[in-house]
Chains A and B, each alone.
Chain A
Amino acid sequence: MADQTIRPRYVKVFLTFAQNSLIRDMTFRADFIFQCISSVAWTAMNVGFYLIIFRFTSMIGEDTGWMRDEFFLFLATVWFINSIVQAFFMPNMAEFSELIRTGGLDFALLKPIDTQFLISLRRIEWSALSNFFVGLLIAAFSLYSMATRPIDPIYPSVVSILLYVFFVLCGVAIMYSVMICLAATSVWLGRNQSLYDFWFYITNFSRYPMEIYNTPLGRPLLGFFIFVIPVLVVVNVPARILAQPLRPRADWEWPLALWAVMSTVIAFTISRWLFKKSLKSYRSASS
Chain B
Amino acid sequence: MSTIPASPLAKIGAVHQVKTWWMMIRISLEERLAYRGDFALGTLMRFLPIITQIFLWGAIFNAVAAQSGNDENNPPMLGGYALPDMVAYFLLTMIARAFSSMPGLASGIASQVRQGEIKKYLIQPVDLISFLLCTRIAHKLAYYVVATLPFAFVFFLCRGFFTEGFPPPAYFIAFLGSLVMGFMIGFFLEATIGMISFWLLEVNSLLLIFMLFSFFLSGHMFPLSLLPPDIEWFVNLLPLKYLAYFPAAIFLQKIPEDELATEMAIEAGWVVFFIIVCRWMYERGLKRYSGFGG
A49 and B222 in contact, given A38-B212, A56-B60, A194-B45 (Cβ under 8 angstroms):
yes
Contacts of A55 in B (CB 8 A): 226, 228
- Please report which residues of chain A, range 177-198, place their CB below 8 angstroms from some CB of chain B when the two chains form the complex: 194, 197-198
Q: Among A38, A53, A197, which residue has its beta carbon within 8 angstroms of that of B209?
A: A38
Residue of A nearest to B42 (CB): A194
* Shortest Cβ distance from B78 into A: residue: A56
Contact of B212 among A42, A208, A212 (CB under 8 A): A42
A231 to B209, CA, bound (A): 31
Q: Does A204 touch B at the CB level, under 8 Å?
A: yes
Interface pick from A58-66, A77-85, A134-142, A274-282: A58-66
User: Contact between A208 and B56 (Cβ–Cβ < 8 Å)?
Assistant: yes
Cβ of B6 within 8 Å of any chain A Cβ, yes or no, is: no
Report B-chain residues with C-beta under 8 Å of the C-beta of A58.
Answer: 63, 67
A34 near B63: Cβ-Cβ < 8 Å: no
State whether B42 touches A204 (Cβ < 8 A).
Answer: no
| Min CB–CB distance A199 → chain B (angstroms) | 12
B220-273 interface with A by 8 A CB criterion: 221-222, 226-228
> Closest Cβ of chain A: how far from B55's Cβ, in Å?
4
Docked CA distance A48–B215 (Å): 12
A218 at the binding interface (Cβ < 8 Å): yes
> Is there an interface contact between B52 and A211, defined as CB atoms closer than 8 Å?
no
Whether a CB of chain A sits under 8 angstroms from the CB of B15 is: no
Interface band, chain B:
20 to 34
Residues of A within 8 A of B14 (CB): none
Which residues on the B side are within 8 Å of A221 (C-beta)?
51, 55
Chain B's nearest CB lies how many Å from the CB of A97? 15
Which residues from 20 to 59 on chain A have a C-beta closer than 8 Å to any C-beta of chain B? 31, 34, 38, 41-42, 45, 48-49, 52-53, 55-59
Q: Is the CB of A48 within 8 A of B209?
A: no
Q: Which of A38, A53, A55 has most B Cβ within 10 Å?
A: A53
Distance A60 CA – B212 CA, assembled complex (angstroms): 25
Which residues in chain B, 12-63, are within 8 Å of chain A measured between CB atoms? 42, 45, 48-49, 51-52, 55-56, 58-60, 62-63
Question: Are B212 and A45 touching (Cβ within 8 A)?
Answer: yes
Bound state CA distance, A45 and B42, in angstroms?
26
| CB within 8 Å for A52 and B226 given contacts A57-B64, A212-B55 | yes
Beyond A52-B227, A59-B63, whether A205 also contacts B52 by CB under 8 A is: yes
Enumerate chain B interface residues (CB-CB to A < 8 A): 42, 45, 48-49, 51-52, 55-56, 58-60, 62-67, 78, 205, 208-209, 212, 215-216, 221-222, 226-228
Give the docked Cα–Cα distance between A41 and B64 (Å): 29
A115 to B66, CA, bound (A): 54
Q: How far is the CA of A205 from the CA of B208 in the complex (A)?
A: 25
Interface centre among B55, B64, B78, B228 (most CB of A within 10 A): B55
Complex CA distance for A49 and B53, rounded to whole angstroms:
13
CA distance A58 to B65 in the complex (A): 11
Q: How far is the CA of A31 from the CA of B208 in the complex (A)?
A: 12
Q: Is the CB of B63 within 8 A of A57?
A: yes
| Interface residues, chain A, with chain B CB atoms under 8 Å away | 31, 34, 38, 41-42, 45, 48-49, 52-53, 55-64, 194, 197-198, 200-201, 204-205, 207-209, 211-213, 215, 218, 221
Contacts of A207 in B (CB 8 A): 52
Contact B212 A49 (CB under 8 A): no
Do B55 and A218 touch (CB < 8 A)?
Answer: yes
Residues of the B chain whose Cβ atoms lie less than 8 Å from the Cβ of A60: 56, 59-60, 63
Q: What are 13 A-B contacts defined by CB distance under 8 Å? A: A34-B208, A38-B212, A41-B212, A42-B212, A45-B212, A49-B221, A52-B228, A59-B63, A63-B66, A64-B59, A197-B42, A209-B59, A212-B56
Distance, CA A226 to CA B207, complexed state (A): 38
In the bound complex, residues from chain B placing their C-beta under 8 Å from that of A42 are 212
For the complex formed, measure the closest distance between the CB of B258 and the CB atoms of chain A, giving whole angstroms: 28
- Give the CA-CA distance A221 to B52 in the complex, in Å: 10
For A54, the closest partner residue in chain B by CB is: B60
- Minimal Cβ-Cβ distance residue in B for A49: B221
Q: Contact partner of A212 among B58, B215, B222, B226, CB < 8 A?
A: B58
Given A49-B222, A62-B63; A201-B55 close (CB under 8 Å): no
A52 closest partner in B (C-beta): B226
CB distance from B233 to the nearest CB of A (A): 15
In the bound complex, what is the Cα–Cα distance between A205 and B49 (angstroms)?
8
Q: Which 7 A-B pairs have the closest CB atoms?
A: A61-B59, A212-B59, A62-B66, A201-B48, A212-B55, A59-B63, A57-B63
Rounded to whole angstroms, the CA-CA distance of A197 and B44 in the bound complex is: 12
Chain B's closest residue to A59 (CB) is B63
Asked whether B51 lies within 8 Å of A34 as measured between CB atoms, the reply is no
Q: Report Cα–Cα, A172/B209, bound state, in Å.
A: 29
CB-based contact B45/A197 at 8 Å: yes
C-alpha gap A45/B65 in the complex (Å): 26
Given the interface contacts A194-B42, A204-B49, does A61 sit within 8 Å of B205 by beta carbon?
no
Contact of A45 among B51, B215, B228 (CB under 8 A): B215
**B49 pairs with A201, CB closer than 8 A:** yes
